[in-house]
Structure 1
Amino acid sequence: MCSNHTVVRCNEKDRETLLTFRQGIHDSLGRISTWSTEKDCCVWEGVRCDNITGRVTELDLKPRFEDESIRFLKGEMNLCILELEFLSYLDLSLNVFDVIIIPSIPHNITHSSKLVYLDLSLLNKFVDLEKKKTLHMDSLHWLSSLSSLKYLNLSNIDLPKETNLFQIVNSLPSLLELQLSDCKLNNFPFDEYLNLSSIVTLDLSRNNFTSHLLDGFFNLSKDLKYLDLSWNNIYGEIPSSLLNLQNLRHLDLSYNQLQGSVPEEIGQLSHIQQLDLSENQLQGSIPSTLGNLSSLNYLFIGSNNFSGEISKLTFSKLYTLGLLDMSYSNIVFQFDLDWIPPFQLFHLSLGNTNQGPNFPSWIYTQKSLQVLELSNSGISLVDRHKFSNLIERVANSLILSNNSIAEDISNLTLNCLFLWLDNNNFARGLPNLSPMAWVVDLSYNSFSGSIPHSWKNLKELSLLNLWSNRLSGEVQEHLSDWKQLRVINLGENEFSGSIPTGMSQNLQLIILRANQFEGTIPQQLFNLSYLIYLDLAHNKLSGSIPDCVYNLTEMVTFSEGVLPADITIELFTKGQDYIYQIRGDTRTIDLSANHLTGEVPLELFRLVQVQTLNLSHNSFIGTIQKTIGGMINMESLDLSNNKFYGEIPRSMSVLTFLGYLNLSYNSFEGKIPTGTQLQSFNASSYIGNPKLCGAPLNNCTMKEENPKTAMPSTDNEDDDSLRESLYLGMRVGFAAGFWGICGSLFLIRKWRHAYFRFVYRVGDKIYVTLIVKLNMFKRN
């Protein structure tokens, strides 16, 4: 802010320009409420003026973090702001603007040559999920007048496909940093000469380039320190001209289609600190010259086709290495049992590599690990004492899924936030957990006993998966305390007692299947508006289904749910055994194999987004409501082994996605409605209903009613039924919700390591950006 604004007020022309910019902004949280005509613009939020002249020199409107929320600006990004004659710093980044306005007479921007820093990068594609709107900038002519520009960031803005962007960039002689990530550039002139001799930082990631990396490209600038070409379709070999970039600190070529071997000469890039070659098709052995990169902090080389052996020689001089990712590799690791690395890692990912059967002894020496990922690595034997000390030290993420570790960890306290120990042979009691634990997956083990009393303190717990263990006892007090819980899976255990009534209002997925729960279904379960998956099957529940079913909002109107992690379970559904992965777009209700009675509430057949409904093996009575035809997304329907009666509604014939149907062993009667859908199932879907007839069963032999008297009422009823069903189907709406960027964890287990890599990259980038901006403010 201007420290002397009581003496020198801001320039009137500048104030009018700022007010013009302000007119198009939607600021529901009042971030720029100080921008009013009654006050000096030098004291407006985000505005900085010169102490002497009162002219606006800086405008910083990036989001603020307040009260655990982020205050974004929306509306119009009006580039009239560039008309501020003495503006040297403009940061509108990380907002979610709806449209970009370029002044109709661009030549009015005649005083922008003083602009040094320009950041217009957006977060629309990551935050504005409801619209998922992509912003276009159709004209870039205004850039050519910014001759003093040193920093330019237009990331996440779609730039014109046919553009003179790079000719304009060539005309900016002072440009040091250029960031054009996720701009849909498609075709980058890798094969053309670009006069970017001043460039120090170049980020062209996520642009879907399809091209070779030709030798000439790495002649861009010998001063280049940061180069990011990740998440494109770049193919071919890594050119030897890469060695021209002797000042390179950061090189990211990940998520491309690069082939061939890694040049041995890569060891000559003596200043490099972060190297990412992961997720390509690189072959051959990993060059031992990597061991010469003594400044290396981050090394990602996993998910390639490397072969051969790797030994301690490769790491002999990597004194500063902090992050190592070699996951999804066929490399043979040849380390001596007594090898002590020269580094201390904070992140190690060796998932899907052949490490076992013994736990790698050198990992025990790592005292600062925050992330340890060793899933699917063939490990079965550990040094009990060293292993216990190690996993208790891991502070962020511990991922040991899909091994064969058989240890008793009941006396340990695991302090990580994300814990995946699923698909092992851990036995006896559950471990104690950090009060900050967020995601806990201990499924497919042999844990026994009850949930520890200390787990009541898990106030941040978002996902708990204990599927398929030998756990027992009641869970009433625990579930009532976990107010942030979104996913609870206690299936395939021996839990008992009643289902808790005070569960988290944030729950999206509840699986209590195959336990010993008894009593009635709490009405509170059907007041959970975010619930998309409810499985209470194979318990001892009794009573009827509560009438308030329609409060399951997410089963009426669809939004793409974001689960905090993936859930994979074994189910018997659609008449078959399935390895079933639950996604955010799944909508399921399974109450089968209980002792439930009474009529099914009408509201249940109005949940038009449900895809799987299983009420089988209970004692339900009554008829199928004709409104079932509105459940147009239904894929699997099982009402078998109940006491339903009456006719099958004709409206069911419009359920075109129905792939599995079982109405057997009830008391249905009359003729199965004709239509391609219901006749596509075989007789086993209808057997056990003695008074039911019609294809695919035997033809009806009962006397037909007089068509002159019976038909009109039947047609009217069927028409009403179909009409109501169609109306119900048309009620589908779309809604969306944002659940914390860090909460959007990946849904496919194979890519989990990529998530952590993304988090670290983004964190580093934001940190560096903030530090740079802070230093600029201090200098000014």
Structure 2
Amino acid sequence: MHLNFGLSTFAPNVRCIEKERQALLRFKQGIKDEFGQLSSWGYEDAKKECCEWEGVRCSNETGYVVMLDLRGNDSWLDNRHLRGKISPSLMELYHLRYLDLSHNSFYGDIPYHLGNLSHLQYLNLGFNHNLDDVGNFQWITGLSNLEYLDLSFLIPSVRTDWLSSVSRLTKLSTLVLSGCSLHSPSLSTLSHINMSTSLSTVFLESNSLNSSIFQWLFNSSTNLVFLDLSFNELYGSIPYSLGKTSGLTYLDLGWNYLEGEIPESFGNLCNLKALHLYRNNLRGQLTFFQNLSSCDQRPSIERIHLHTNNFSGPLPDFSFFPSLKAISLSNNKLNGNLAKAGIGNLSEKLEVLDVSLNILGGEISGSHLSNLSKLTWLGLSSTLKIKSNWIPPFQLRALRLRSCKLQPPYLFPNWLKNQSMLSDLDISDLGISDAIPIWFQNLISNNMFFLNISKNQIHGTFPASPSISKLFALDLSSNNLVGTLPRIQSDLLCFLDVSNNQFSGSLLPLCSITLSQYMDVHLDLSNNQLSGVIPDNCPSHWGMTTLVSLANNRFSGKIPRSIGSLRALETLDLHNNSFSGELPSSMRELQFLKFMNLGGNKLSGKVPAWIGNRLSDLKILILSSNMFDGSISSSLCMLTNLQILDLSHNNMHGIIPQCLYNFTAMAHNANSSELELLQLSSPLVLASSDRNEPEIIISWSYMDKATVSWRGRSDEYGRNLVFLRLIDLSSNRLSGNFPNGILNLSGLVALNLSRNNLSGRLPQDIGQLNQLQSLDLSWNRFSGEIPTSMSDLHFLSHLDLSYNNLSGKIPSGTQLQGFNASVYAGNEELCGPPLANNCSTNDDQGNPAQGGQRSTHDHESSEDEFMKWLFIGMGSGFTVGFWGVCLVLFFNRACRHAFFLFFNNLVDFLLVRIAIYKARLLRTGI
């Protein structure tokens, strides 16, 4: 934006007006100027002329201060900013036309009297994150001459009708309200608010706006040239009317919830230079590019960023667009042969080409890339057939080759050694089977901040102390690397994944570094051979850590107390180590924890009550296979978000609390929209300072994983973990009756109370747990009949009621009678299918369902006698019977078929009877 302020250029005839000089000095008094940016301001005679001060300009004609430009450094890594409060003395600069205090560290409230500066044409207070209150935007209505307004990342104290205030600025041409937590007004309000026809540039990204904002943008004739609504809550289809904004040159609707296809009307945007629709749910083919061919002159589009959608079909012929500088189509479903899609005919101006993570085929050779001398960003998704002696014509900053396929001999691509500018390298899942060459160590020691070599077969060691001082993210996972953990000397490191390797030694290399203090930190060291005691102060260096996984290693000793300093922690996975002792009380400070798996250790003591009192966000709590004792605290019932509770294989005793009905998250079914609950999917986004450059996204995410036992086996669940609603209290010493509070958890999928001392009757309403797929109540002392409502458990695929004191007839119906007889073993007074003993009322047999007419002793004696003679008969008759049966079966096909059918049934019967007989011997001490 260019405004004519009639500014002085240190003209000697221009004299500072004393009143305004004093106002500026009072403004300076409230500022902490640590780097001397205002050193030219002062009371001394040598500094008398305020029109010559840094950032101050005066009118050539009147001498009044008309411009105050104290914009700070916009790099978040540079802390050279002004700090302090904005003094009300600025209101005395009544003739001010240009005011820029952006990108500083001003704090406190904005002086609303700034709204009295009616001559102001340019106002920028953005990116002062410590300004407490921007008010309700009403104060800006007094700025009747305002043409440029930027209040980025200033948050209103209350939800406000910001749009009404903005719409009263009839001369406004540029509006920048990024990151202000703005909401869309109601549709009824929008119908009465027209957008100023002078407004040509609108940046409203990073708010909470929905698609109703389009009605304000297009309810009158519009002259929009720049429009940015990225990082909002836009939904539904892209409005067709947007394609009729013929003057539009820049459009960014990225990172929303838009769906459907790109409107055909986009073929009318002949002036479009940048199109950003990344990270939505858009689909269809990219045919609108063909419609641009109807423009009077060749389209001048320069940048296309459509990555991370569901676009399909072949790539467009981009050779029709001679001005192209950037093509980003990664992470879609585009298909076809990349080599035949004109990649060799792309514009020599091209700087960014990213078609990675698609379904593209074909072989890419060096000749396809030979003309792209200005390329700085390359992402491919096909087979690489590049000779080892090929010398690229470009110097890349970013190279994304994830899941491409190498030609034999599967070594590190030799042509990379010439890429001295690389800072972003992803060669994961490339098929590399090689040790890290020396030249690669030199490559990553320069400017690297993102390195991903995961999912290969790389062996040998990684440099012990690589000099990567700017590194943000390092992924070495799923290789065959050995040796000690790398010591990364970068205080920017926020993602480290070395899981699924063979690293050994202690955690000390990670204890001596300080991780990022600016961003969420992910640490995944799981599935290695790391060992030793973790120093107590080690986690205190890990900054804003949200994930720590040390699972499946050999760590020992106590969990360090400083783990409680990780106040942002959401996932803690320490399972399958040898940690011992009680849980440190400092863990009560982990109030954002959602996932905690401490199973498979040697932890002891009581399960602390503070878990329920303080960790209210917990969704997964696994403490299985430890040495916890004591009773189950009723405070655990306060975990209303809990989806999985596993306290199995401990020494806990007492009754199960009835208050389990408070697990309200288990009272409803899971759905796919809840996947994010167990997925730490906040990608690291490093936005370029140039809006036209692609953002750098570390786009992978961590999915919480846990091994849980249900359906009779133990399996690891990741993505599907969210669909489980599970309670496992098995293999403890719990007593009392079945906890009826569980019956309220209608979304429960798996319940395991086996191998305890529970007794009493099963509740008649157990059938209301209608989502149960797995139920194990075996090896307890439950008695009475099996409730008939259990036949209503239509999803039940695993059932074990064995070795209890259940009696009576198994309820009829395919649901319960379709299980193998072994699930009812050890309940001697149960009868009916699938058990061999029926429920006849005959006096000689007795009626087990009514207690029978024979004593249990007689019943057991007759069975003992039967088993004894069965084994004797099996031994003496085997030799004679075996050869006779073999001869018959050999010559008679029908007999052979009937025999094997009989034999299968006999085996099932014998297995059940033998199990019952064995159990009886154990009880009688024989």
Give your verdict on TM over 0.5: yes
Report if aligned partners of 1:449, 1:473 keep a CA contact under 8 Å in 2: yes
- Structure-1 residue corresponding to 2:251: 178
Tell me how far apart the structure 1 counterparts of residues 420 and 142 of structure 2 sit (CA, whole Å). Answer: 48
TM-fit CA distance, 1:235: 1.8
Q: In terms of mean alpha carbon deviation, does 618-627 or 180-189 score higher?
A: 180-189
Q: Percent of counterpart pairs with the same letter?
A: 28
1:499-533 Cα deviation digits (max 9, x unpaired): 23323332221112222323332333222222211
Structure 1 or 2, whichever has the larger Rg, is: 2
Report if aligned partners of 2:190, 2:215 keep a CA contact under 8 Å in 1: no
Alignment of 1:67-146 (within 5 A): 85-90=170-175, 95-97=182-184, 100-101=187-188, 112-118=196-202, 135=211, 142=218, 145-146=221-222
Tell me how far apart the structure 2 counterparts of residues 455 and 341 of structure 1 sit (CA, whole Å). Answer: 43
Which ranges in structure 2 are unaligned for 5 or more consecutive residues? 1-89, 95-111, 119-131, 467-484, 516-520, 681-701, 844-848, 850-926
Matched, 1:435 2:513: no
Report if aligned partners of 1:348, 1:372 keep a CA contact under 8 Å in 2: yes
Among 810, 830, 838, the alignment partner of 1:699 is: 838
The 3 A distance-change label for structure 1 pair 79 and 664 is: farther
- Structure-1 residue corresponding to 2:604: 496
Among 488, 495, 504, the alignment partner of 1:397 is: 495
Matched, 1:634 2:772: yes
Q: Give, as a single letter, the amino acid of the residue that structure 2 aligns with 1:701.
A: S
- Ranked by relative contact order (alpha carbons within 8 Å, sequence separation 6 or more), the top structure is 1
1:2-32 Cα deviation digits (max 9, x unpaired): 9869799799xxxxxxxxxxxxxxxxxx988
Q: Give, as a single letter, the amino acid of the residue that structure 1 aligns with 2:497.
A: I
The 3 A distance-change label for structure 1 pair 461 and 356 is: farther
Among 601, 626, 634, the alignment partner of 1:523 is: 634
The 3 A distance-change label for structure 1 pair 218 and 686 is: farther
TM-fit CA distance, 1:415: 4.7
Tell me how far apart the structure 2 counterparts of residues 311 and 609 of structure 1 sit (CA, whole Å). Answer: 58
- Partner SS, residue 596 of structure 2: strand
TM-fit CA distance, 1:574: 0.6
Tell me how far apart the structure 2 counterparts of residues 96 and 78 of structure 1 sit (CA, whole Å). Answer: 10
Output the aligned Cα RMSD. Answer: 4.3
TM-fit CA distance, 1:56: 7.0
Q: Give, as a single letter, the amino acid of the residue that structure 1 aligns with 2:566.
A: L
The 3 A distance-change label for structure 1 pair 245 and 316 is: closer
- Structure-1 residue corresponding to 2:787: 649
TM-fit CA distance, 1:665: 1.0
Alignment of 1:462-541 (within 5 A): 462-477=570-585, 479-503=587-611, 504-541=615-652
Among 262, 268, 278, the alignment partner of 2:356 is: 278
Matched, 1:660 2:798: yes
- Structure-1 residue corresponding to 2:336: 259
The 3 A distance-change label for structure 1 pair 100 and 494 is: same
Tell me how far apart the structure 2 counterparts of residues 593 and 279 of structure 1 sit (CA, whole Å). Answer: 46
TM-fit CA distance, 1:449: 4.4
TM-fit CA distance, 1:618: 0.9
1:632-679 Cα deviation digits (max 9, x unpaired): 222211111111112222332322222222111111222333344333
Among 553, 559, 562, the alignment partner of 2:664 is: 553
Tell me how far apart the structure 2 counterparts of residues 265 and 225 of structure 1 sit (CA, whole Å). Answer: 16
Matched, 1:457 2:585: no
Matched, 1:233 2:341: no
Matched, 1:562 2:635: no
Q: Give, as a single letter, the amino acid of the residue that structure 2 aligns with 1:328.
A: S
Matched, 1:419 2:523: yes
Matched, 1:573 2:652: no
Q: In terms of mean alpha carbon deviation, does 94-103 or 418-427 score higher?
A: 94-103
1:286-343 Cα deviation digits (max 9, x unpaired): 4436587666554433xx3323347585667426x1x433222222564489985544
1:65-99 Cα deviation digits (max 9, x unpaired): 58xxxx8959x998997686444345677645485
- Partner SS, residue 794 of structure 2: coil
Matched, 1:351 2:416: no
- Structure-2 residue corresponding to 1:325: 400
TM-fit CA distance, 1:479: 3.3
Tell me how far apart the structure 1 counterparts of residues 733 and 797 of structure 2 sit (CA, whole Å). Answer: 27
Q: In terms of mean alpha carbon deviation, does 325-334 or 618-627 score higher?
A: 325-334
TM score, norm. by length of structure 2:
0.61
Tell me how far apart the structure 2 counterparts of residues 149 and 694 of structure 1 sit (CA, whole Å). Answer: 78
Tell me how far apart the structure 2 counterparts of residues 86 and 138 of structure 1 sit (CA, whole Å). Answer: 21
- Structure-2 residue corresponding to 1:743: none
Report if aligned partners of 2:357, 2:403 keep a CA contact under 8 Å in 1: no
- Structure-1 residue corresponding to 2:470: none
Alignment of 1:332-371 (within 5 A): 334-335=411-412, 342-343=419-420, 345-359=422-436, 361-365=438-442, 366-367=444-445, 369-371=448-450
Matched, 1:208 2:283: yes
Which ranges in structure 1 are unaligned for 5 or more consecutive residues? 12-29, 36-40, 126-133, 705-709, 711-780
Tell me how far apart the structure 1 counterparts of residues 767 and 405 of structure 2 sit (CA, whole Å). Answer: 52
- Partner SS, residue 677 of structure 1: helix
- Partner SS, residue 267 of structure 2: coil
The 3 A distance-change label for structure 1 pair 558 and 283 is: closer
TM-fit CA distance, 1:688: 1.5
- Partner SS, residue 578 of structure 1: strand
Tell me how far apart the structure 1 counterparts of residues 571 and 370 of structure 2 sit (CA, whole Å). Answer: 40
Tell me how far apart the structure 1 counterparts of residues 753 and 226 of structure 2 sit (CA, whole Å). Answer: 62
TM-fit CA distance, 1:623: 2.0
1:407-441 Cα deviation digits (max 9, x unpaired): 55445426552122333343445584433222122
Q: Give, as a single letter, the amino acid of the residue that structure 1 aligns with 2:653.
A: S
**Would you say how many aligned residue pairs link Structure 1 and Structure 2?**
647
1:15-58 Cα deviation digits (max 9, x unpaired): xxxxxxxxxxxxxxx988647xxxxx4x1xxx3554xxx36767
TM-fit CA distance, 1:681: 2.4
Report if aligned partners of 2:641, 2:665 keep a CA contact under 8 Å in 1: yes
Tell me how far apart the structure 1 counterparts of residues 602 and 664 of structure 2 sit (CA, whole Å). Answer: 31
Alignment of 1:593-604 (within 5 A): 593-604=731-742
- Partner SS, residue 734 of structure 2: strand
Tell me how far apart the structure 2 counterparts of residues 98 and 104 of structure 1 sit (CA, whole Å). Answer: 10
Report if aligned partners of 1:550, 1:604 keep a CA contact under 8 Å in 2: yes
TM-fit CA distance, 1:538: 1.5
Among 196, 205, 212, the alignment partner of 2:269 is: 196
- Structure-2 residue corresponding to 1:754: none
Report if aligned partners of 1:316, 1:342 keep a CA contact under 8 Å in 2: no
- Structure-1 residue corresponding to 2:912: none
TM-fit CA distance, 1:596: 1.6
- Structure-1 residue corresponding to 2:458: 379
The 3 A distance-change label for structure 1 pair 384 and 91 is: closer
Q: In terms of mean alpha carbon deviation, does 559-568 or 336-345 score higher?
A: 336-345
Report if aligned partners of 1:511, 1:534 keep a CA contact under 8 Å in 2: yes
The 3 A distance-change label for structure 1 pair 555 and 379 is: same
Tell me how far apart the structure 1 counterparts of residues 565 and 594 of structure 2 sit (CA, whole Å). Answer: 16
Tell me how far apart the structure 2 counterparts of residues 308 and 7 of structure 1 sit (CA, whole Å). Answer: 63
Report if aligned partners of 1:610, 1:631 keep a CA contact under 8 Å in 2: yes
Report if aligned partners of 1:492, 1:514 keep a CA contact under 8 Å in 2: yes
Tell me how far apart the structure 2 counterparts of residues 251 and 580 of structure 1 sit (CA, whole Å). Answer: 33
- Structure-1 residue corresponding to 2:722: 584
